[in-house]
Amino acid sequence: MTITRELFIGGKDVPALSRHTTEDRNPYTGEVYAVVAAGGPEDITRAVDAAHEAFPAWAATRPAQRRRILLDAADILESKADEAARLMAEEVGEVAVFARFNVTLAANILRDAAAAVTQPQGEVLATDTEGQLSLALREPLGVVAAFSPWNAPLILGVRAFAVPIAVGNTVVLKPSEEAPIACGLFLADIMAEAGLPAGVLNVVTNAAADAAEVARTLIADKRVRTVNFTGSTNVGRIIGGIAAEHIKPAVLELGGKNALLVLDDADLDYAVNAATFGSFNNAGQICLSTDRILVHRSIAEEFTAKLAAKVAALPHGDPIDPATIVGPLVNAKAAARVSTLVHEAVAAGATVRTGGHQPAGARLAPTVLADVTPAMRIFTEEIFGPAVVVLTVDDDEQAIAIANDTEYGLTAGIITQNAARGLAIARRLQTGIVHVNDQTVDDEPQAPFGGVKSSGYGKFGGRWGVDAFTETRWLTLAGHHTVFPY
C-alpha cells in the first residue's frame, strides 16, 4: 500500500499550496513506496513564518521543559525501532543492522541534545568602566535552515535539528528527495508526539526538480539566521555560496575520500575485518566510508587476498532480509555511476579481486580493486558505493602523502600495533577526524564532527555544535550615570 504524506508546518500536516506531489520509490523493487507533497518556494515561506512566530516563546521555554521533550522523543524513537527499520529498508534500501544503528545513535543524539540545553554559558568580563557590569552571553540565533540527507536518515535528520532546538532555535527542515519520510516527516511525527510545540520544527518536502529553488528561498529568507547542510561536496558548495551571499554562517558536512592505513605491524585479520566494515557498511554510502586502503608492500598481497575472500562472502541483495549485509544503492543511477568508475578503472588496468559487476537495477556486487593508478577516476573521486581500492605503499611517508593527496579531508583510520606510531601519523593526516586502531566510520554525539578542505567547515556535536547554533552577545549594565565629554 502506497503511503501518502503532506508537509508539516506549524504543527499540522498540510498539502503544498500548488497541490503538487512527488513519488518516493523503493530502490530495491523500483516500486512507488510513498507519494509526498511537493512543496515550493511559497511553502518554504509558510514554514519560515511558522518558525519565526514560534521562536520567542520557544527561546523563553524553561530548560527543563526542553530537556523533557528531547528525552521523551528519544524514548519514542526507540519504541518505534521496528517501524523505523522497515521504513528505511523500503525507502532507501538500508539493511537491518545499519537501520538499527540509525535508531540507536539518533536516540542518543536526542539525549545528548537534552544535556546540551543548559550548555550555553556566558561570562562576566573585565571592564575599565567604573561601576559597569559587562557580560558575554550565549543566546539562540532564531530560525535555522536545515538540510538532511538520505544515507543515514535518522542519524543525520535528527542531527540537523536536535541541538538547534535544544538551545532555543526553531527549525525549517528540508529533507532529501530520496528519503522525505525517514529523514524528515517521520522525525517530525516523533517530536510532535513528544510534545514539541507547533512551529518549532517544520518539514517541507519537494520534488527533485524544485530542489534548487526551494533551497535558495529558504536560505535567502531574511528571518533565517544560519544554515546546516549534510550532503555532497558539489551541492555543499552551492549551499555555502548562497549562505555567504546572504552573510549567514553555515555548518557544512560534506564528502570524503577516506583512507585506511594498514601498517606493516598490523594484525592482518583485524585489519581485514575493519576494512570490510569501513568500506561496505550501508553499501559504502556513508560520507565516512573507507574509499582507499593503503597497505604496506610487505603484507599487501596477503591482506588483499583475505579482504577479497571476506567481501566475496558478504550476503547482498534484499534489504528486508535480516541476513543481508550489503543492500542496494539509493537508486539505479547511483549504482550505474559506481559501476562506471569500476569498469573504467578495469579498462585502464586495474584488477578486480572480487565483485565488479552490477546484478540489476540499484544493486552492485561488493567490489575490491587492486592495481589502481592516479590516472583513474576512482583514485580521486568519492566512490559512495560498495567498492574499495587497495593501494600498495613502501613506507609510512608514502602512505601519509597519498592519504593527504586529495581535495577532501573528512576522516581516516590507522591500523597498527604501535600506538605511538599511529598517533604520530594521525597528527600528520589532513582530516577533521582520525581513528587509530580503527577504521574510518565512527560517530558519537558528544564529539566534534566535521571535516577540512572540501569536506566542509564547522562542527556538529558536543559543545562545538552548541557554539554553532548560538551567538555571543555583549551586554553591559551601567551602575551610575556615565559622564560624557560633551
d(CA 381, CA 109): 30
Question: Which among 94, 177, 287, 382 is annotated as catalytic?
Answer: 287
Query: 147 with 160: CB under 8 angstroms?
Result: yes
d(CA 223, CA 17): 21
- The one-character DSSP state at 324 is -
Q: Which amino acid is at 465?
A: G
Q: Spell out a b/e string for 434-467, using b for 16 or more CB atoms within 10 Å of the CB, else e.
A: bbbbbbbbebebeeebbbebbbbbbbbbbebbbb
The grid coordinates of residue 321 equal: 532480509
d(CA 376, CA 477): 64
Specify the pairing of strand 143-148 against strand 133-140.
unpaired
287 is catalytic: yes
123 is catalytic: no
CA distances from 116 to 17, 66, 329, 439, 472 (A): 37, 10, 35, 28, 16
Q: Which residue from 231, 158, 185, 13 is spatially nearest to 91, judged by alpha carbons?
A: 185
Question: Which among 94, 178, 253, 382 is annotated as catalytic?
Answer: 253
**Which residues form the catalytic set?**
253, 287
